[in-house]
Chain A
């Protein structure tokens, strides 16, 4: 039984890229965004129920913004009774859970309603959502009472593909999380994400690509519900081998052996006498040409 002093904060970052989910709804009608959100809510409820002092936050990662689905800015955990009288769904549920669920539903509805179609913004703003999660964790840690200890982790439910343009921000977020001892877990629905693999490897979290989307809730509860201390006691999917190879600057191929410019540290797969990034000329001493020794020919006279 966790004591009053241990606070565990879980931040769930859900990828709600409307383009991907819209296409997904056409591909596989039995698993759509609603089902995904249901599964996430189950997990969120379970987390809140595990211990009284557990905290939760849910962020929706859209292609135009990152929005907090829970908690709401204008809502405090205290005033539950003051709000909607009809909040109780009548099934005797813990009020916090029912309120939370309704809140999340309302927020996602509003979020999708105000989505505008923009052709050039099709990527999920994942790095931004992670940064917001880190800031939220930081804020909550400052608001703790004296003597309370907080452990936090971030769970990323990823649907769409990686965006290469967010690489720098992503890496910064990962290293910031590592410094703060915040775990980043990843549950990937569709295609493997190298960035998230790195994130999980560096921060010590779990990376899982699930084979069956319909059983998302089961995976979430089994693998991602226990926190870091309990995971050492459990038998969980082993960690994935992460590909840390660098990509060359000229072709963007992943290389194992390459040439690095000593001035600007850019990586190339082939040697070239001039670095194309900083325009430094390099001289490599060529091997000495040995003059062939002339043999004295004995002229027999």
Chain B
């Protein structure tokens, strides 16, 4: 049962739906239809759910109104009252036309948001598909938690949504098509109409004045394209033309634009003038040219119109249609029609000057406020991870004794390098260092003698003894006192070199090829 507190805006009797007679009710938030005789509504749609309405063409016998919902369903109402069917339907249509846009935005917005969210986040989309499409949870539950989060962000971003600008070629894009017999057909879409209205508010005004009272839309546009306002040469504007006023207004706007000039004091337009003399020869100021030929006039008219058109397109993009209050923007006066441009001139100039003078990075940046670190016992850091051990406490007497002792000892120090250590100590050290020895416990346990096969070992031994013999001969020649020794030295040297190339090198290469980690230290020593 319909809520009785709803306000009924329109009641239409004798409306058939699905071959049943009934009454159509239009309320503030929904449209409903109940069959004759019953007091119950069988069909009820919220305006928010209705995507659009359609009417049957004029020529048809049946006068119908169709409502298409967002879900794709459609409901058709047939106005069956003989006399007033058309009027009824048009009344219903107009009311719907007024009401639907109000609710449309809300519904669309929500849907759009949802769609956007799903598109942006593939994970969310997958989740949605898995859960809602397969009916695990309902769509409302799914969106209940999500929409709250995003509504805050979206409200912020929606306010700063950028509006789509106007293409500067929108007028040129309306390509007329020849109709066959000396006529031109212009295709106007609603986008183009919107662009024209945005760019030329004067035309919009004319449209509001004349349509639909004086002219139909079609006639208006026909006149528009016919008028010389649209065409190139606007010289003959004396004719009876609704657009002659527009032309005059444009001229006025253009003039005021030129007078105001550019707001930015840094831009110097006059430097772009042509100098008639070559560079380096000074400049010749051209006096104002008063005589104008007809050709120049038409050229200047075209140029003027181009400039004006560009200025209007730019201004249209900046002008915010929704905001009734004029927001203070620097370029609000580019269309030449706003009155309060003069108020903003001095502050704008100052701002521009400031921008040109100051660089942000060069100023003393006020960094984030920091709190100073105060350390009470900073010497703790310099103490390493050496646990406090009890030092050997040396009495001062000990110290004195030690120092005296060492001084005595070193005062008669003479290096005696032939008796550095006893051989027993040396051999025990060697065993300790060999694999398996005292110091090598963690390393490889195998002795080298086990890693290297015996034939290689024997060859190594032979080479070692041979090299040792040669070297002994070599070094015994020093110091070279006699020419005999000198000869011998030279001979020994060549012998050594020969030995190296013939015996040592191949052996070394053989070992390197076959064994990667062997003890070649001896070879290195021998290589000297």
A207-258 residues with Cβ-Cβ distance < 8 A to B are: 208, 210-212, 214-219, 222-223, 226, 230, 233-238, 243-247, 249, 252-254
Could you tell me if A278 and B373 are in contact, using CB atoms closer than 8 angstroms?
yes
B426 touches A218 (CB 8 A): yes
Q: Roughly how many angstroms separate A230 CA and B524 CA in the complex, as a whole number?
A: 9
User: Is A238 a contact partner of B442 (Cβ separation < 8 A)?
Assistant: yes
If A105-B414, A252-B387 touch, does A22 touch B401 (CB 8 Å cutoff)?
Answer: yes
Please choose the segment from A26-34, A145-153, A284-292 that sits at the chain B interface, where 4 or more of its residues have CB less than 8 A away: A26-34
State which of B396, B416, B479 has its C-beta within 8 Å of the C-beta of A38: B416
The interface bits of chain A over 10-30 (1 if a CB of B lies within 8 angstroms of the residue's CB, else 0) are 000000001111110110000
From 510 to 528 in chain B, residues with beta carbon under 8 angstroms from any chain A beta carbon are 517-521, 524, 527-528
CB of B405, distance to nearest CB on chain A (Å): 4
Asked if A235 and B375 sit within 8 Å, CB to CB, the answer is no
Interface pair A211/B420, CB less than 8 Å apart: no
B384 touches A247 (CB 8 A): yes
Residue B357 at the A interface, CB < 8 A? no
A235 and B399 within 8 A (CB): no
Q: In the complex, are the beta carbons of B403 and A25 less than 8 A apart?
A: no
Contact with B519, one of A21, A234, A249 (Cβ below 8 angstroms): A234
A8 contact set on B, CB distance < 8 A: none
B440 is contacted by which of A35, A49, A237 (Cβ under 8 Å)? A237
By beta carbon, the residue of chain A nearest B404 is A22
- Which of A112, A243, A249 touches B407 (beta carbons < 8 Å)? A112
8 A Cβ contacts from A99-152 to B? 101-102, 104-105, 108-109, 112-113, 115, 117, 119, 122
A81 close to B (CB within 8 Å)? no
Please determine whether A42 and B373 come into contact, CB atoms closer than 8 angstroms: no
Q: Using A41-B417, A42-B417 as known contacts, say yes or no to A254 and B387 having CB atoms under 8 A apart.
A: yes
- In angstroms, Cα B401 to Cα A278, docked, is 45
- Residue A92 interfacial (CB < 8 Å): yes
Q: Assuming A19-B394, A238-B442, is B429 touching A278 (CB within 8 A)?
A: no
Say whether B483 faces chain A, with CB atoms less than 8 Å apart. no
Q: Let me know if B19 is at the binding interface, CB within 8 A.
A: no
Q: Is the CB of A235 within 8 A of B376?
A: no
Q: Is the CB of A34 within 8 A of B409?
A: yes
Note all chain A residues with C-beta closer than 8 A to B409. 25, 32-34
Is B267 on the interface with A (CB-CB < 8 A)? no
B411-444: which residues lie under 8 A (CB-CB) from chain A?
Answer: 411, 413-417, 420-422, 425-426, 428-430, 432-433, 435, 438-440, 442-444
A39 partner residues in chain B, CB cutoff 8 A:
420-421
A235→B448 contact, CB < 8 A: yes
CB B56 to nearest CB in A, in angstroms, measures 71
Chain A residue at smallest Cβ distance from B442:
A238
Who on chain A is nearest to B432 by CB? Answer: A211
Contacts of A42 in B (CB 8 A): 417, 420
* Interface membership of A263, Cβ < 8 A: yes
Q: How far is the CB of B267 from chain A (nearest CB, A)?
A: 54
Also in contact, A215 and B421, with CB within 8 A (given A226-B521, A247-B387): yes
Partner of B399, one of A117, A164, A194, A226: A117
A300, CB-defined interface residue at 8 Å: no
Question: Which among A45, A254, A277 is the interface contact of B417 at CB below 8 angstroms?
Answer: A45
A-B contact count (CB 8 A): 205
A249 to chain B, nearest CB (A): 5
CA distance A105 to B478 in the complex (A): 25
Q: Which residue of A lies closest to B435 (CB)?
A: A235
Is B406 close to A, CB under 8 A?
yes
B383 in the interface (beta carbon within 8 A): yes
Docked-complex contact B375 and A264, CB < 8 angstroms: yes
Interface pair B524/A218, CB less than 8 Å apart: no
B386 & A162 in contact (Cβ 8 Å cutoff): yes
Docked-complex contact B387 and A108, CB < 8 angstroms: no
For the complex, give the distance between the alpha carbons of A208 and B432 in Å: 12
- Taken together as a complex, chains A and B put the C-alpha atoms of A51 and B385 apart, in Å, by 41
A42–B425 CA distance with the chains assembled, in angstroms: 16
Contact partners of A233 in chain B: CB under 8 A: 517-521
B519 touches A19 (CB 8 A): no
Interface contact B402-A21, CB-CB below 8 Å: yes
Asked whether any CB of chain A lies closer than 8 Å to the CB of B381, the reply is: yes
- On chain A, the residues within 8 Å of B402 by CB distance are 18-23, 25-26
Q: Which of B387, B401, B420 has the most CB of A within 10 A?
A: B420
Residues of A within 8 A of B400 (CB): 117
Q: Report the bound CA distance from A168 to B378 in whole Å.
A: 13
**B407 and A113 within 8 A (CB):** yes
Q: CA–CA, A39 to B507, complex, Å?
A: 33
Kindly provide the distance from the CB of A166 to the nearest chain B CB, expressed in whole angstroms: 8
Residues of A within 8 A of B438 (CB): 211
B500 closest partner in A (C-beta): A1
Q: Kindly state whether residue B291 has any CB partner on chain A within 8 Å.
A: no
A19 and B421 in contact, given A41-B415, A211-B438, A235-B435 (Cβ under 8 angstroms): no
1/0 contact trace for B355-382 toward A, CB 8 Å? 0000000000000000001111110111
Say whether B398 faces chain A, with CB atoms less than 8 Å apart.
yes
A70 at the interface (CB under 8 A from B): no
The digit string for B439-475, where 1 denotes a CB below 8 A from any CB of A, is 1101110001000000000000000000000000000
Residue A68 lies at the interface, judged by CB distance under 8 Å to chain B: no
Which residue of chain A is the closest to B425 with respect to CB atoms?
A: A215
Inter-subunit contact A18/B521 (CB<8 Å): no
Question: Is A115 in contact with B399, judged by CB distance below 8 angstroms?
Answer: no
Q: How far is B392's CA from A50's CA once the two chains are assembled, in angstroms?
A: 41
B425 with A18: CB separation less than 8 A: no
Taking CB atoms, residues of chain B closer than 8 Å to A263 are: 373
- CA A32 to CA B413, docked complex, whole Å: 11
- CB of B277 within 8 A of chain A? no
Q: Within the assembled complex, what's the spacing in Å between the Cα atoms of A21 and B518?
A: 40
Question: What is the bound-complex CA distance between A49 and B417, given in angstroms?
Answer: 15
Bits for A165-178, please: 1 = Cβ < 8 Å to B, else 0.
10110110000000
What residues on B are CB-neighbors of A18 within 8 Å? Answer: 402-403, 406-407
In contact, B413 and A167 (Cβ under 8 angstroms): no
The listed residue (B373, B383, B392, B528) touching A167 by CB distance below 8 A is B383
Report if B388 contacts A (CB, 8 A): yes
Is A165 a contact of B382 with CB atoms below 8 Å? yes
- Asked if A260 is at the interface (CB within 8 A of a chain B CB), the reply is no
| B410–A33 CB distance below 8 A | yes
- B383 cross-chain contacts in A, Cβ below 8 A: 164-165, 167, 247, 252
Chain A interfacial positions (CB closer than 8 Å to B):
1, 18-23, 25-26, 32-35, 37-39, 41-42, 45, 49-51, 92, 101-102, 104-105, 108-109, 112-113, 115, 117, 119, 122, 161-162, 164-165, 167-168, 170-171, 194-195, 208, 210-212, 214-219, 222-223, 226, 230, 233-238, 243-247, 249, 252-254, 263-264, 266, 276-279
26 residue pairs of the A-B complex, CB under 8 angstroms, read A23-B398, A25-B405, A26-B401, A37-B413, A38-B415, A41-B417, A92-B478, A108-B413, A167-B384, A167-B386, A168-B384, A212-B428, A212-B432, A214-B425, A215-B421, A215-B428, A235-B448, A235-B519, A243-B385, A244-B385, A249-B380, A252-B383, A252-B387, A266-B381, A276-B377, A278-B376
- If A22-B406, A238-B440 are given as contacts, then 10 extra A-B residue pairs at C-beta distance below 8 Å, sorted by A number, are A21-B402, A38-B415, A50-B528, A105-B414, A222-B429, A235-B444, A238-B442, A246-B385, A252-B383, A254-B387
- Nearest 9 pairs of A and B residues by beta carbon: A22-B402, A167-B384, A215-B429, A215-B425, A247-B385, A218-B429, A112-B410, A238-B443, A22-B405
